[in-house]
């Protein structure tokens, strides 16, 4: 497969075209932690990479571990995070120029001591093109769609919440970014200076957290939050997928709470170094927000030619938040990929004005621009309620729930893409209002296994009342269970203590029927409503949220 050249409309990202979509002489290999076969050394519990090199039927010019060893981590921090074992024994092999890489991978995969062997795919910034849209019109027009001014009345962010930008680096000297960027590693030049030499990463960083109320430039989504700059893409916007994996590991180890990845590559598979890194982030409660990319195609798992990384590397468990782009008219951007499987949410990615190189600003378009809008909202959610941070996957689940359940339904504007733009358009005010007026199952793993309604959307009218069923499945016997439904303005529509039977904790769960009326018996008008399930059991209190659409 050739590297994508973005030609849809004006979306020509870079004129740089690669002959291959992977590094020609590199392989990423993971060895089993224990080996008695080809790669075994004197130590029965540790694979010897040097012994492996000596016995391989091809020449390896160089090798180095991809992720940090346990010994290194213990020396630097004195502790190991959850999932560290999954990052051990992964190596980047540089082969001799004469080696046939396909034969080498085939041989590696045939060895019992190899967990996986894969190409080192090239990744690239998800495309942008400058245009002449003015700042004042573009930024306010976009933010109004999210009800940002009302959201900022609740929170403008917190410096204690860190958002990692894994990209081309960040222009940390820009007047709208200076003083609020933590410097991570530069995996392109292999040094500690992640200064942007492209502009893409700086544009992303400005959308997330540019300074505000400083009488210059632009306002970021999360004014007071900090950025962690990690450079994995070069000045053309290209890089290696292994560096993206290393960037994720560094972000987690550096204390990031959210990771923005406005980049994409060919599908690298759901086993490999990138997936290992994503699993590591998820296990430690770090939310990855990833661009859907700009090929204008549908992504689905039944055909790997319609899959990309990292957007499709959700591990089948919603480990990442996939973002599509729409315009201010709520319709899908012509360039944006879409998917009923991998896109979770949409944001505006057209004509977005933000920081670039020097002291300049530019207007750009792409799912790269939509993605940091979502990262910024995630930062605001964690800033508003830091007790959501548990350093477990529960944090990812909670933040996802607040973003998705509060989204504005845009299916009506996109009949061709119904169900393929995620839950809708982010609505910052709705998310923060819901967060402020509800509590979360903080620190306690939820016993709510399933909570949804069907049909959804559901039709209703003044002359003919229909109903919808709420399906609930729990992992423990509840003491009490309450279902409440709110309008988007925050008005409680119903509050009902539900009766339950033993079937509630069986494999089939239990359904509760709602007649689409409020507590006063009035038929509700069309709109979007938020259903909140509250469960008390022996382990504590738990809540889950679900969006209900009445048409």
Do 254 and 381 belong together in one domain? yes
Single out the catalytic residue among 124, 200, 203, 546: 200
Domain span holding position 170: 125-436
For the chain, what percent of residues have pLDDT higher than 70?
84
- Spatial distance between the Cα atoms of 59 and 41, rounded to a whole number of angstroms: 20
The pLDDT assigned to 73 comes to: 84
Average pLDDT of the chain? 82
Do 469 and 406 belong together in one domain? no
The pLDDT assigned to 512 comes to: 76
- Range in 54-58, 323-327, 439-443 with the lowest mean pLDDT: 439-443
Residues 476 and 525: beta-carbon distance below 8 Å: no
The pLDDT assigned to 57 comes to: 82
Do 196 and 341 belong together in one domain? yes
pLDDT band at 409 (very low <50, low <70, confident <90, very high): confident
Write the pLDDT tens digit of every residue in 450-481.
777 777 777 775 555 578 888 787 888 888 88
Do 334 and 481 belong together in one domain? no
Do 462 and 396 belong together in one domain? no
The pLDDT assigned to 36 comes to: 36
The pLDDT assigned to 89 comes to: 86
Single out the catalytic residue among 309, 365, 368, 406: 368
The answer to whether 200 is a known catalytic residue is yes
Do 261 and 368 belong together in one domain? yes
Do 510 and 410 belong together in one domain? no
Task: Return the closest-CA partner of residue 177 out of 467, 43, 425, 372.
Answer: 372
Single out the catalytic residue among 167, 176, 196, 537: 167
Q: What is the DSSP string of 285-326?
A: TPEEEEE--SS--B--TT-GGG-EETTT-STTTT-EEEEEEE
Task: Return the closest-CA partner of residue 238 out of 22, 395, 63.
Answer: 22
Quote the Cα angle for 434-323-338, to 5°.
125
The answer to whether 411 is a known catalytic residue is no
pLDDT above 50 for 222? yes
Do 453 and 351 belong together in one domain? no
Write the pLDDT tens digit of every residue in 73-131.
888 777 888 888 888 888 888 887 767 888 888 888 888 888 888 888 878 776 433 33
The pLDDT assigned to 506 comes to: 47
pLDDT above 50 for 15? no
Write the pLDDT tens digit of every residue in 277-314.
999 999 999 999 999 999 999 998 888 889 999 999 98
The answer to whether 192 is a known catalytic residue is no
Is 45 or 419 the better-scoring residue by pLDDT? 419
Do 213 and 323 belong together in one domain? yes
The pLDDT assigned to 462 comes to: 54
- Spatial distance between the Cα atoms of 290 and 17, rounded to a whole number of angstroms: 23
Residues 338 and 360: beta-carbon distance below 8 Å: no
Do 508 and 426 belong together in one domain? no
- 497: domain CATH number is 2.60.40.4070
Whether 443 is covered by a domain: the verdict is no
The pLDDT assigned to 445 comes to: 54
Beta strands in 258-403 (DSSP E): 258-261, 263-266, 287-291, 308-309, 320-326, 345-348, 352-355, 361-364
Q: What is the mean pLDDT of residues 484-506?
A: 63
Q: Which of 376, 408, 436 is the last residue of a domain?
A: 436
Q: What is the pTM of this model?
A: 0.74
CA distances from 211 to 17, 18, 181, 359, 535 (A): 35, 37, 11, 13, 41
Do 327 and 194 belong together in one domain? yes
How many domains would you assign to the chain?
A: 2
Q: What is the mean pLDDT of residues 502-511?
A: 53
Whether 23 is covered by a domain: the verdict is no
Whether 206 is covered by a domain: the verdict is yes
Write the pLDDT tens digit of every residue in 158-170.
999 999 999 999 9
The pLDDT assigned to 48 comes to: 64
């Amino acid at each position: 497969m050739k590297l994508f050249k973005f030609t849809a409309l004006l979306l020509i990202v870079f004129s740089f075209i690669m002959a291959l979509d992977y590094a020609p002489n590199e392989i990423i290999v993971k060895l089993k932690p224990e080996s008695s076969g080809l790669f075994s050394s004197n130590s029965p519990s540790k694979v010897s990479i040097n012994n492996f090199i000596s016995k391989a039927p091809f020449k390896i010019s160089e090798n180095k571990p991809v992720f940090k060893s346990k010994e290194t981590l213990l020396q630097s921090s004195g502790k190991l995070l959850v999932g560290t074992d999954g990052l051990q024994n992964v190596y980047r092999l540089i082969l001799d120029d004469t080696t046939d890489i396909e034969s080498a991978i085939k041989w590696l995969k045939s060895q019992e001591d190899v967990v996986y062997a894969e190409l080192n795919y090239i990744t690239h910034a998800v495309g942008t093109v400058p245009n002449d849209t003015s700042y004042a019109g573009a930024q306010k027009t976009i933010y109004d769609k999210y009800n940002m001014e009302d959201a900022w009345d609740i929170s403008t962010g917190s410096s204690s919440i860190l958002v990692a930008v894994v990209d081309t680096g960040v222009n940390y000297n820009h007047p709208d970014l200076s003083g609020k960027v933590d410097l991570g590693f530069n995996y392109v030049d292999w040094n500690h200076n992640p200064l942007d030499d492209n502009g893409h990463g700086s544009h992303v960083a400005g959308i997330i957290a540019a300074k505000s109320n400083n009488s210059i430039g632009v306002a970021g989504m999360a004014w007071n939050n900090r950025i962690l700059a990690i450079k994995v893409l070069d000045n053309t916007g290209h890089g290696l997928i292994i560096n993206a994996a290393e960037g994720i590991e560094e972000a987690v180890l550096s204390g990031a709470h959210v990771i923005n990845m406005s980049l994409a590559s060919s599908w690298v598979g759901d086993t490999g170094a990138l997936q290992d890194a994503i699993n590591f982030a998820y296990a430690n409660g770090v939310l990855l927000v990833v661009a859907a990319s700009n090929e204008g195609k549908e992504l689905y798992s039944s055909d790997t030619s319609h899959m990309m990384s990292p957007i499709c590397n959700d591990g089948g468990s919603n480990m990442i938040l996939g973002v599509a782009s729409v315009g201010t008219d709520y319709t899908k951007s012509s360039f944006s990929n879409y998917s009923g499987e991998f896109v979770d949410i949409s944001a505006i990615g057209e004509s977005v004005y933000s920081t670039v190189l020097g002291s300049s600003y530019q207007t750009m378009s792409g799912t790269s621009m939509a993605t940091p809008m979502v990262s910024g909202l995630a930062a605001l959610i964690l800033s508003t309620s830091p007790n959501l941070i548990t350093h477990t996957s529960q944090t990812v689940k909670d933040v996802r729930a607040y973003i998705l359940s509060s989204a504005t339904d845009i299916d009506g504007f996109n009949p061709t893409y119904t169900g393929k733009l995620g839950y809708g358009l982010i609505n910052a005010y709705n998310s923060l209002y819901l967060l402020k007026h509800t509590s979360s199952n903080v620190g306690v793993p939820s016993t709510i296994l399933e909570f949804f309604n069907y049909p959804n959307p559901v039709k209703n009218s003044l002359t003919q009342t229909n109903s919808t069923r709420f399906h609930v499945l729990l992992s423990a016997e509840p003491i009490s269970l309450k279902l409440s439904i709110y309008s988007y303005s925050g008005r409680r529509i119903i509050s009902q203590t539900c009766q339950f039977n033993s079937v509630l904790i069986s494999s089939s769960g239990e359904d509760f029927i709602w007649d689409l009326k409020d507590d006063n018996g009035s038929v509700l008008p069309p709109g979007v409503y938020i259903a909140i399930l509250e469960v008390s059991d022996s382990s504590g209190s738990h809540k889950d949220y679900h969006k209900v659409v009445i048409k």
